[in-house]
Amino acid sequence: MTGTTHDGFFTPVSGVDLPRFAGIPTFMRLPHVPFDHARFGEVEIGLIGAPWDGGTTNRPGPRHGPRQLRDLSTMIRAKNGATWVAPFELCKCADLGDVAPNPADLMDSLDRMEAFYAKVKAAGVVPLTGGGDHLCTLPILRGLARGGEALGLIQFDSHTDLNDVYFGTGKYTHGTPFRRAVEEGLVDPKRYVLVGIRGTAYGREDWDFAEANGIRIIAIDEFHRRGPEDVMEEVRSIVGTKPTYVTYDIDFVDPTFAPGTGTPEVGGPNSWAALLVARLLKGVDVVGADLVEVSPPFDTVGGTAWLGVNLMFEMLCVMAERVAERRG
């Protein structure tokens, strides 16, 4: 599917016109189009930074993720070398900037992010976010699903993030967002699937919650045994044809390939399988997606962020095809 839909304003700067190390870095070298920009009303897919890690319970750092993701994304080119999808030709994409958190107030940050994404949704823009820790996904879901039909959810992760409370009172951490999302009716548990879960555990409370609510968990041993293609066929059948959100925690990937994250777990997929599962989202009605938990302090050379922006590009290709289909 090809064909430029715009006058060139939304075309990324090419590396043959300006060196990759020059210019102001935006996501994938797209134009920066904030809410008050004259052409904001034309944007179809908005790339957004969520520089906040107020939900982190151990190693901090994902607040710096969006900046490193933007810097590394200058290496992204115009076409997908595997599928030949050209997302920047299919629809109008732009960097909408960052949602501004309040690092001194967790609840205010959640409210700020929800309001930001509600505004994005009201404008008809499909968001693709670079985080931030995984608690960021909760206010995004609130902004996109509040007052409407519950969304399907595809979660690539090494942890369920379905826990209830941390430290006796902590209901809002990067280990609890999807428990809250199900409780708040933002996500349809029957159309919710987690892929890649592994590692040691506190107990079975999160798994018991999933089983009681009809949430499908595909643990890493099953993923490796069946392979990405077979697993993703089931994933697509679970979410069906209704609107679905995709959340991709970089710790889904084995830390050999993505060490820059706060809570790594061994035994995950390699970088090729990580890219493949994103590519196999094709056909899903993706109404928003994120890539979270990139923590630059633990991978200063940027390999984790480089993998992260490639994952974002794969999801962008799927989203752009879907936006073009809706328009057509």
DSSP track, 245-278: EEEEEGGGS-TTT---SSS--SS---HHHHHHHH
Q: Which residues of 48-80 are buried (b: 16+ CB within 10 A; e: fewer)?
A: bbbbbbbbbbeeebbbbbbbbbbbbbbebeeeb
Annotated binding-site residue? 157: yes
- CA dist., res. 106 & res. 123, Å (int): 26
Number of helices (H) and strands (E), helices first, in the chain? Answer: 10, 8
- CA dist., res. 175 & res. 170, Å (int): 10
Annotated binding-site residue? 249: yes
- CA dist., res. 117 & res. 146, Å (int): 11
Annotated binding-site residue? 159: yes
CB atoms within 10 A of CB 134: 29
Sequence ranges of the binding site for Mn(2+)? 134, 157, 159, 161, 249, 251
Residues in the annotated binding site: 134, 157, 159, 161, 249, 251
